[in-house]
Amino acid sequence: MDQLPIFMNLHDKDCLVVGGGAVAARKADLMRAAGARVTAVAPAITGETRRMVADGRLAWREAEFDDPMVVGNRLVIAATDEPAVNRAVFAACERRGIPVNVADEPELCSFILPGIVDRSPVTIALSTGGRSPVLARLMRARLETLIPSGFGRLADLLGRYRQAAKDRIHGLDTRKRFWEDVIDGPIGNLVLSGKDREAEDKLAGLLADREAPSEAGEVYLIGAGPGDPDLLTFRALRLLQKADVVVYDRLVAPAIVDLARREAERIYVGKRAGNHSCSQEDISSLLRDLAADGKRVARLKGGDPFIFGRGGEEIEVLAGAGLPFQVVPGITAASGCAAYAGIPLTHRDHAQSVRFVTGHRRGDGLDLDWQNLAEGRDTLVFYMSLGSARQICDQLIAHGMPRSRKAALIERGTTDNQRVYTGTLTSLPNKITAAESPSLLVIGEVTGLHESLGWFRGRGAATSAFPDSEPCLAKGAA
């Protein structure tokens, strides 16, 4: 950390701005927003600075800067076009131990004004250490879109009832869980939708009626998408960072697991073809036992948990045990990988429908309705199909699909290691002998658009984006 972020109390404190132009006006307005009494020193003022003085928002001392002017000020900012004056302001403050900032001169600053997201009393400050104000501005703009404007009102409400909750709910962990439920639940939603009075009534009633906090845990069944962490939903990220335990499998990229809280326990339950180190029954039981112990469990599943992800089987066990759960949809592999490969799954000229099919073998073969699959012109997407790709192509040809039907295999889609193999039902199997899992087989004329529409090439060579299979870790393992 290059600098220590500090929030300074400027209420009713004297502050000084040296300069009379647009930059000086912006700096003065920022300090005024924090409650400071601000004086501008300059032989002349223009534009917004003049308007601020006329409106009584800013005091003006019509003079050239002199060293003694900094005395008695909590904070000083220099914003002139004259380097000699700026250096003089910095030197005068440094001699007296007064915090000083010279606009656009990082080497003449004892503090840096950060980019600010204001949801008072919630305030977020970010800085690039003066290296790139433009980057800081872009980051601030992104945060502005992510943080609801009602967060300030929510913080006020929580502050008013903080002591009451402390008196009523004993135990730090229990109280933390209570507040998380308030913020993420109906009360928080009411505030963010502008129903502050109703939210306060609910919170007051909840504290008045609360006897003993529930110790029941909860499972968040989260679709982690096809690999790129940027494809997570906001809700998935929020619940992942709330979890006490993260249960994940081989199709979840490590970068996504790393988004969990540092203190969260991580349990790997990966499976791969021919090596099911954890049975589905073991995984479902693990989730049930963790939730019964009062844990908040993020169950991460690659893609979408309800598309060939056995998510339904896992929550059936939870529902049978009377344990709470939430389901967060994810971008399924077919949608995400095809989009990154530039293969539209439907297209007016090529395919009016798409079918998702499991390519996972049962015993020695695939139990599929080959005749029905081969007769249509819709796009076919086969999940878990790398090991059976040749058999799939051969069976479709045998049941009447043209040998020339275009096909593609997308390997490690949406990750830095993405590769796309294209061909026909006849040629593709010979091209993918070196391909690795996870891979997705797409069959249909739309795959021919990859050459012209393929936009994603990865961001450089990287190590494997997915871990190799490991032994199933029992509950409580690191």
Residue 44 labeled ligand binder: yes
Residue 448 labeled ligand binder: no
Identify the pLDDT of residue 210: 59
Largest CA distance in the chain: 93
| Domain at 1-113, CATH from 3.10.20.30, 3.40.50.720, 3.30.56.10, 3.40.50.1100 | 3.40.50.720
Which H or E run contains 443?
Answer: strand 439-443
Q: How far apart are CA 182 and CA 188, in angstroms?
A: 6
Residue 476 tokens read as: 């409580």
Residue 444 labeled ligand binder: no
Q: How far apart are CA 149 and CA 119, in angstroms?
A: 6
Asked if the 218-331 domain carries CATH number 3.40.1010.10, the reply is yes
Half-sphere exposure of 283 (CA within 13 A, CB side): 29
Identify the pLDDT of residue 460: 36
Nearest Cα residue to 322 out of 188, 476, 214, 245: 214
Residue 332 labeled ligand binder: yes
Residue 116 labeled ligand binder: no
CATH class of the 335-453 domain in this structure: alpha beta
Query: Which residues lie below 8 Å from residue 369, measured CB to CB, with a gap of 6+?
Result: none
Identify the pLDDT of residue 247: 96
Identify the pLDDT of residue 351: 92
Residue 342 labeled ligand binder: no
Domain ranges of the chain: 1-113, 151-209, 218-331, 335-453
Angstrom CA distances, 379 to 237, 353, 426, 434, 447, stand at: 32, 6, 17, 24, 9
CB-CB contact of 397 with 426 (8 Å)? yes
Question: Hey, what amino acid is at 8?
Answer: M
Residue 251 tokens read as: 């199709």
Q: How far apart are CA 42 and CA 33, in angstroms?
A: 21
Residue 307 labeled ligand binder: yes
pLDDT in tens, the chain (478 residues): 777 888 999 999 999 999 999 999 999 999 999 999 999 999 999 999 999 999 999 999 999 999 999 999 999 999 999 999 999 999 999 999 999 999 988 899 999 888 888 888 888 888 887 788 788 888 888 888 778 788 889 999 999 999 999 888 888 878 888 898 888 777 887 887 788 999 999 999 888 875 544 556 889 999 999 999 999 998 899 889 889 999 999 889 999 999 998 889 999 998 655 555 678 999 999 999 999 998 989 999 999 999 998 999 999 999 999 999 999 999 999 999 999 999 999 999 999 999 999 877 655 568 899 999 999 889 999 999 999 999 999 999 999 999 999 999 999 999 999 999 999 999 999 999 999 989 999 999 999 999 999 999 865 333 333 343 333 544 443 3
Q: Please give the span between the terminal C-alpha atoms of the chain, in angstroms, as a whole number.
A: 29
CB-CB contact of 296 with 218 (8 Å)? yes
Query: Which residues lie below 8 Å from residue 103, measured CB to CB, with a gap of 6+?
Result: 19, 23, 27, 77, 78, 79, 86
Residue 304 labeled ligand binder: yes
Identify the pLDDT of residue 194: 85
Beta strands across the sheet bearing 59-62: 59-62, 37-42, 14-18, 75-78, 100-102
| Catalytic residue positions, numbered | 249, 271
Identify the pLDDT of residue 399: 96
Q: How far apart are CA 251 and CA 162, in angstroms?
A: 42
